Amino acid sequence: MNRKATRMLLRGILAALMLSAVFAASAGANSWKFEGKALEGKETIVGAAFESSMTIPGLTTKCENFLYKLSIENVGGAGKGSVNELPLYNCTTNSKWCSVASIGAESLPWAAQTKVVSTTNYITIEGVKVSILYAGELCALDETWAIVTGSAGGRIDNTAETATFDATSFKETGTVLKALGSSIEWKGVFPTEAFQTHRLQALTVS
């Protein structure tokens, strides 16, 4: 092999090593941590919003004490998770004509993972499915099932230990929820804490 070919080969190897290092750093820089240390094994965390809403064009549905229960772990340095429970209580609409006859999460568990977008940490949830039955003689959606499906992205605030779902977080993560043929907006701020071994310890993603 001549010198030119050798130099090209070495440059190729160096570039490959640098690229591997970048990927390794990206994977390792976005994991679940407690008290600044990467989570080992699994943990269960709970996120509970005082109020959260989903807006189908023309109708907003709000639920008090909106809660999700998430099993988390680090896989290959990246934060992974599984939404196992999503109880929804005391749900109403912004219309005096429409009430919520039934609402519930389906097809659980939903897969979740952490990701970084422009230096900001997010959690994305895939496979979301929530069924809502509306009622009311004068409600345009009376006896109509609205099936909310798709994916959701929430912005993680390490200082406040919250996950915020809104139009911006959905746009940044490329996630979308749909129902009745239209995109819907989900809003909610979820203070989050560990529920088992790491209870009362500071939870961060970095």
CATH at 172: 2.40.160
Q: Give a yes or no: residue 12 inside a domain.
A: no
Task: Report yes or no on 204 lying in a domain.
Answer: no
Inside any domain, residue 3: no
Output the pLDDT for position 24. 37
Average pLDDT, the chain: 87
Q: What is the mean pLDDT of residues 120-132?
A: 97
- Residues ≥6 apart with Cβ < 8 Å to 63: 51, 52, 53, 88, 89, 90, 91, 103
Average pLDDT score over residue span 142-153:
97
Using a 10 angstrom Cβ sphere, with 0-12 exposed, 13-18 middle and 19 or more buried, the burial of residue 157 is: middle
Q: Which residues contact 20 (CB under 8 A, 6 or more apart)?
A: none
- Position 27 scores a pLDDT of 36
- The pLDDT-based confidence of 1 (bands split at 50, 70, 90) is low
Q: What pLDDT was estimated at residue 140? A: 95
User: Measured at the alpha carbon of residue 42, what is the angle toward residues 41 and 46, in degrees to the nearest 5?
Assistant: 155
Q: Does 47 fall in a domain?
A: yes
In a domain, 22, yes or no: no
In a domain, 17, yes or no: no
What tokens does 43 get?
A: 């943990």
The reported pTM is 0.83
Mean pLDDT of 141-153: 97
Domain count, the chain: 1
**Is residue 45 situated within a structural domain?**
yes
Most confidently predicted of 29-33, 50-54, 74-78 = 74-78
Domain that holds residue 135: 31-199
Residue 83 lies in a domain: yes
